[in-house]
Amino acid sequence: MSELDGEAVVVTGANRGLGREMSLRFAREGARVALVARTESELEAVAAEADGETLVVPADVTDSAEVGSAVESTLDAFGRIDTLVNNAGIGLLSLEDGGRPTHEVPEEQWRRIVDVNLTGVFLCSKAALPHMLDRERGNVINISSGLGRYAAPGYAPYNSSKHGLEGLTKTMALDYEDDGVNVNALDPGGRVNTAFWDHLPDEERAEILGPEVMNDAAVLLAAQGPGGVTGESMDAADWEARLG
């Protein structure tokens, strides 16, 4: 029996890539998974493939009303939320297939990237945390990036949003360290073969990580009980070594 049997897990950005793979793995581990993203048809495809109980919850993580409704739908269906995986994310690569120097970044793209990657995490956490606090247990897993710890030229909005996410993760961990809720950041540990990197030549895409790279680490983090590791940010391999 898996430690996640019967657990309720919410995954944002569950329609494709890393979010899709984590959602399918959580379902295989016996968790009930709420699949959150904007595109309902893509979520339905994930639900159809899942080996376990899922709930399709279309929502835009930047819209507080839609996020609140998604959380309430999850509670109505599952009765609780044990783990929130804040995975939804975008960058200049997904918007226009490349970076550009800071002064050339359109304001609307800056706002959109920061809104999804950082404000979306805040809104989803703000909606889900009270229900974890009521039960005095829970896990928040924020999907970060190596670019949250260092920088790359041409990607100011993404770099900034992920640095902000690292700070938010540490702050939330301190906020709830005595309340049974663990808050951590997880990143793949390198470029992942998802749509984010569609612009790369096939030979380069063949050399990068598969989208299932974070599955084992995500399961280990979701299985933590109150008083677990909190406030840390590591890549998948390091989390597996720490918790495995």
Active site residue 158: yes
Burial of 37 from C-beta contacts in 10 A (0-12 / 13-18 / 19+) = buried
Distance separating alpha carbons of residues 80 and 74, to the nearest angstrom: 7
Q: How far apart are the first and last CA of the chain?
A: 17
Q: Is the dihedral of CA 232, 234, 110, 23 positive or negative?
A: negative
Q: Hey, what long-range contacts does 111-116 have (CB within 8 A, 24 or more apart)?
A: 113/157, 113/158, 113/161, 114/157, 114/160, 114/161, 114/164, 115/62, 116/61, 116/62, 116/88, 116/89, 116/90, 116/161
Q: Where are the beta strands (DSSP E) in the chain?
A: 8-12, 32-37, 54-58, 83-86, 138-143, 181-187, 233-235
Dmax (CA) for the chain in angstroms is 54
Residue of 150, 155, 158, 176 marked active site = 158
| Other CB atoms within 10 A of residue 217 CB | 27
State how far the Cα of 187 lies from the Cα of 143, in Å rounded to an integer: 6
State the sign of the Cα–Cα–Cα–Cα dihedral 239, 83, 180, 118. Answer: positive
DSSP-derived secondary structure letter, 209: B
Which residues are catalytically annotated? 158
